[in-house]
Structure 1
Amino acid sequence: MEVSPVEGLPEVRPGDDVAELVAERTDLRDGDVLCVASTIVSKAAGRQADLADFTASERAERIAERIGAITGEEKDPRFAQAVIEESEELVTDAPFILAVTRFGHITVNAGIDRSNVPDADLLLLPEDPTEEAEAIRAGIRERTGADVAVVVTDTSGRPFRHGQRGVALGWAGIPAARDWRGERDRDGRELGVTVQAVVDELAAAGNLVTGEGGGGTPVALVRGFDFGDHGESDALYRPPESDIVRDALREWSHERD
């Protein structure tokens, strides 16, 4: 398997066609996987916003005041309001905001970015990353004839570990996971729980070559990946009723209040 950055992409603006920009700059083949940073997907969709667009509610004021008291840094309640409006639920609101996005991803500050946004204060995550992945895939096929898979990615922190890594927010043309349940290990024992989050692993591989900060590139091309003869699953986000970590955080948050 080879992973390489797609070079030469311009600064993406609202209304730009991501599929066209990528197709013009790389030779795509059937079976390729494109890892596309949610940053440019959001920019093309006009998901920039300014803090002035948000009027802080009483809840946002309380959250900003609480976080500021804990961290010793002044927090803008309008940012807290933006997070509230982009979220289905706030799992915790201090010492940081851990939010559930409307498409099921759980991340700090609902994934709202304040870096590499030249024309606004904030960049919001795509409203529906899987729908965006499907649109990019269809656009690539229309322009090149190549049947590729697309993974819309972001970087996210990890419980119990320092640092961030690439994760999938949406995907098209590839299952989210290899389902190994029912297969056997080398000793003949049947696997009962192993489901491999393939789109997350591809997102992390892509992030190794796209990079971070001001010198990063927003698209990686994965060539030669073979899903193999395995079961398939599109269940990437754990349902709330079986998420014991989310339940524990909710309980802790309520007890603290």
Structure 2
Amino acid sequence: MEAFAVEGLPEVREGDDLAALIEERVDLEDGDVLCVASTVVSKAEGRKADLDAFPASDRAVAIADRLESLTGEPKDPRFAQAVLEESEELLTEAPFLLAVTRFGHVTVNAGIDRSNVPGADLLLLPEEPTVSAERLSAALEVPVVVTDTSGRPFRYGQRGVAVGWHGLPAARDWRGEHDRDGRELGVTVQAVVDELAATANLVAGEGAGGTPAVVVRGWEFGDHGESDDLFRADEDDIVREALRGWEFGDG
């Protein structure tokens, strides 16, 4: 397996044909998986926004005031409002905003980006990343994973994760297969779209030198069970349930 960046992509703007821009710069082959950063998908889909588009509600003002008191740094209540509007639910309001996005991803600040957004204050995640992946996959005739970077509980640092995908299952389901000692596997489900996203992130890089599209070549799903579940269902998510009953500063 190899992974390589699609070089030479220009700054993507609203209305650009992202699939055509990629196709002009790489010869895709059968079996390739294309990983595309959500940032360029969002830019093509017109998801830039200014803070003035989010007049702050009383709740947003209260959230910003509390965060400012905790951090000693100014917090714009319009940003808190943007997070509220891009979220189905806030699991925590302090010491940071942990949001459930409308498509099921749980992430800080609803995944809203404030870097590399020329001409605007904010870049919102795609509204429906899997639909975005489906469009790109249909145009390019390869599986597509839309990626983002996200922090992880219990660890420092961020890594690439999948927020949308099409043309491949989200996971390999190993349940029912056997280990080397003949024991049947009962719980192992491998989130391959996340692993492909993390692979792509190693190649894509971050900051000013980042490249937003990566081809993974030579990877095979294999003869395994398939699952399209990635975002844990609310009723099965004991961490989410615990956070709902937790208040920062409870000790």
Same fold? TM cut 0.5:
yes
Letter in 2 for 1:2: E
Task: Provide Cα deviations, 1:213-248, integer angstroms capped at 9, x if missing partner.
Answer: 000000000000010000000000000111111111
- The answer on 1:199 being equivalent to 2:189 is no
**Which TM-score applies when normalising by structure 1?**
0.96
1:9-48 to 2 correspondence within 5 Å?
9-48=9-48
**Cα–Cα, structure 1 residues 162 and 254, in superposed 2: closer, same or farther, change >3 Å?**
closer
Deviation, structure 1 residue 186:
0.4
**Which TM-score applies when normalising by structure 2?**
0.98
Task: Provide Cα deviations, 1:7-35, integer angstroms capped at 9, x if missing partner.
Answer: 00000000001110110000101110000
1:138-157 to 2 correspondence within 5 Å?
138-141=138-141, 148-157=142-151
Partner Cα distance (2:66, 2:197) in 1: 34
Q: Which moved more, 1:200-209 or 1:67-76?
A: 67-76
Deviation, structure 1 residue 140:
1.2
Tell me, what secondary structure is at the counterpart of 1:206? Answer: helix
The residue aligned with 2:228 is: 234
Task: Provide Cα deviations, 1:56-91, integer angstroms capped at 9, x if missing partner.
Answer: 000000100111111111100000000000000000
| Identity level (%) | 74
Partner Cα distance (1:126, 1:235) in 2: 19
The residue aligned with 1:167 is: 161
Partner Cα distance (1:254, 1:70) in 2: 11
Name structure 1 gaps, 5 residues minimum. 142-147
Deviation, structure 1 residue 254:
8.8
Partner Cα distance (1:239, 1:227) in 2: 24
The residue aligned with 2:93 is: 93
The residue aligned with 1:184 is: 178
The residue aligned with 1:76 is: 76
Equivalent position to 2:217, from 220, 223, 232: 223
- Aligned CA RMSD, in angstroms, stands at 1.0
Deviation, structure 1 residue 253:
2.8
Partner Cα distance (2:166, 2:181) in 1: 35
Partner Cα distance (1:243, 1:253) in 2: 18
The residue aligned with 2:238 is: 244
Deviation, structure 1 residue 249:
1.0
On the 8 A contact 2:95/2:248 being kept in 1, the answer is no
Q: How many residues align?
A: 250
Tell me, what secondary structure is at the counterpart of 2:183? Answer: coil
On the 8 A contact 2:91/2:98 being kept in 1, the answer is yes
Runs of 4+ with >2 A deviation: 253-256
Partner Cα distance (2:82, 2:219) in 1: 38
Tell me, what secondary structure is at the counterpart of 2:99? Answer: strand
